[in-house]
C-alpha cells in the first residue's frame, strides 16, 4: 500500500516506536497522521508541514476507541503499535498481571482491529499493522506474560488477515527484536533504534509484505527459527 498521500493512525505515538512511526510517516509523504496516545497533552510532533492530529486513545477503553474511530473516519492505515512489558517467570507471575498484560497486548489489539476494520472497509480498504515481537515465535522465560500475550496476538492476527482479505484490508505483522526504547531500557544488550525499525515497517507496508522482521536481530533469529525452531526454543529458554 502506498504511504504517500495516505491517511494513517498510530497507537502509542507519544514515545518509542510509535513516535518514530509518526516521524517516518511524515517523511514518507503521508497526507494526514492521527497521533493516538493515552495522554495527548505532551505529544512531541515532528514539524514537517504534514497535518498531524492528536487523538486520545487507550486501547483498553472501548469508549476512547469509538470516539477515535468517529474522529478518524478517513483513516486508511492503522499502526496497532501500543504495548506493555512486564518481566517475570510464568510460575511467579500473578494471574492479575497476566490478565493485565493480555488486556493491552492481546485484547487491546483485537479491539483496535475490530473498531477500525469497518472504517477501513468504508474507505475502500487499507492496512492494519500489528506490532508483535520475536517472542511471539519463541518464549523467553523471564518475559512469561509478554510472550503469551504476543503469541496470542500473532494467532489473532492470522485470523484477522483471513477475515479482512476479502474486504481489501491487508494485515502486516511486525516481529521486532530488541529496540532502544523505554520498554527495554533496563536490559543491557544490542538494540536497534526505533527510527530504523519504523522505516523498515513502512517499507514492508509499501511493498505489500505480510510479515516483517525489521532489524538485524529479528532477521537473524527468524532465519534460525525457519531452519530449526526447536533450536531457537532451547536457546531462548536458556536466556
Ligand atoms: N522495545 C522493544 O525491544 C520491542 C521489541 C519487540 C516489539 N516491541 C513492541 O513494539 C511496540 C512499541 O513498543 P516500544 O518499544 O515503543 O515501547 P515503549 O517505549 O514502552 O512505548 C509503549 C507505548 O505504548 C503505549 N501504551 C501502553 N499501553 C497503552 C494503552 N492501554 N493504550 C494506548 N497506548 C498504550 C505507551 O503509552 P504511555 O506512554 O501512555 O504508557 C507508549 O506510547 C509494542 O507493541 C512492543 O511490544 C518492542
- Note the pLDDT tens digit of each residue in 30-81: 999 999 999 999 999 999 999 999 999 999 999 999 999 999 999 999 999 9
Query: Which residue, 52, 102, 109, 39, is CA-closest to 78?
Result: 109
Render pLDDT for 92-145 as a digit per residue (tens, 0 to 9): 999 999 999 999 999 999 999 999 999 999 999 999 999 999 999 999 999 999
Q: List all residues whose CB is within 6 A of at least one atom of ligand 1.
A: 11-12, 14-18, 37-39, 58-60, 81-84, 104, 108, 131, 133, 176, 178-179, 181-184
Cell 522482521 appears where? 213
- The pLDDT value recorded for residue 1 is 94
pLDDT band at 25 (very low <50, low <70, confident <90, very high): very high
Q: What is the bridge-based pairing of β-strands 7-10 and 169-174? A: unpaired
Beta bridge partners of 30: none
pLDDT tens string 175-224:
999 999 999 999 999 999 999 999 999 999 999 999 999 999 999 999 99
State the Cα–Cα distance between residues 136 and 87, nearest whole angstrom: 15
**pLDDT tens-digit map of 219-239:** 999 999 999 999 999 999 998
Return d(Cα 57, Cα 72) in angstroms, integer: 11
Strand pairing class (211-212; 169-174): parallel
Backbone angles phi, psi at 103, to 5 degrees: -55, -45
How far does the centroid of ligand 1 lie from the alpha carbon of residue 170, in Å?
Answer: 22
Which residue's CA is minimally distant from atom 33 of ligand 1? 58
Confidence at residue 174, expressed as pLDDT on a 0 to 100 scale: 98
> What is the position in ligand 1's atom list of the atom closest to the CA of 179?
3
**Which CATH architecture is the domain 7-237 placed in?**
3-Layer(aba) Sandwich (3.40)
Task: Report CA Rg, the chain.
Answer: 17
| Ligand 1 atom 2: residue of nearest CA | 179
pLDDT of residue 50: 96
User: Please, are residues 16 and 201 in contact by the beta-carbon 8 Å criterion?
Assistant: no
Whether this model's pTM surpasses 0.85: yes
Amino acid at each position: 500500500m502506498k504511504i504517500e498521500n495516505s491517511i494513517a493512525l498510530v497507537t502509542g505515538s507519544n514515545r518509542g516506536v510509535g513516535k518514530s512511526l509518526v516521524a517516518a510517516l511524515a517523511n514518507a509523504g503521508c497526507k494526514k497522521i492521527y497521533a493516538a496516545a493515552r495522554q495527548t497533552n505532551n505529544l512531541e510532533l515532528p514539524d514537517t508541514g504534514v497535518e498531524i492530529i492528536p487523538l486520545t486513545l487507550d486501547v483498553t477503553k472501548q469508549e476512547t476507541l469509538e470516539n477515535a474511530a468517529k474522529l478518524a473516519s478517513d483513516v486508511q492505515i492503522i499502526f496497532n503499535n501500543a504495548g506493555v512489558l512486564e518481566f517475570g517467570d510464568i510460575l511467579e507471575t500473578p494471574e492479575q498481571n497476566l490478565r493485565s498484560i493480555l488486556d493491552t497486548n492481546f485484547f487491546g489489539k483485537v479491539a483496535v482491529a475490530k473498531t477500525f476494520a469497518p472504517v477501513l472497509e468504508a474507505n475502500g480498504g487499507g492496512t492494519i499493522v500489528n506490532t508483535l515481537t520475536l517472542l511471539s515465535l519463541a518464549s523467553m522465560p523471564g518475559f512469561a506474560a509478554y510472550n503469551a500475550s504476543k503469541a496470542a496476538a500473532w494467532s489473532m492476527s492470522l485470523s484477522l488477515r483471513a477475515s479482512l482479505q476479502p474486504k481489501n484490508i491487508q494485515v502486516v505483522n511486525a516481529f521486532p527484536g530488541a529496540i532502544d526504547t523505554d520498554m527495554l531500557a533496563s536490559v543491557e544488550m544490542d538494540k536497534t533504534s526505533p527510527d530504523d525499525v519504523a522505516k523498515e515497517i513502512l517499507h514492508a507496508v509499501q511493498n505489500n509484505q505480510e510479515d516483517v522482521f525489521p532489524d538485524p536481530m529479528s532477521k537473524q533469529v527468524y532465519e534460525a527459527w525457519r531452519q530449526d525452531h526447536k533450536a531457537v526454543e532451547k536457546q531462548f529458554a536458556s536466556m
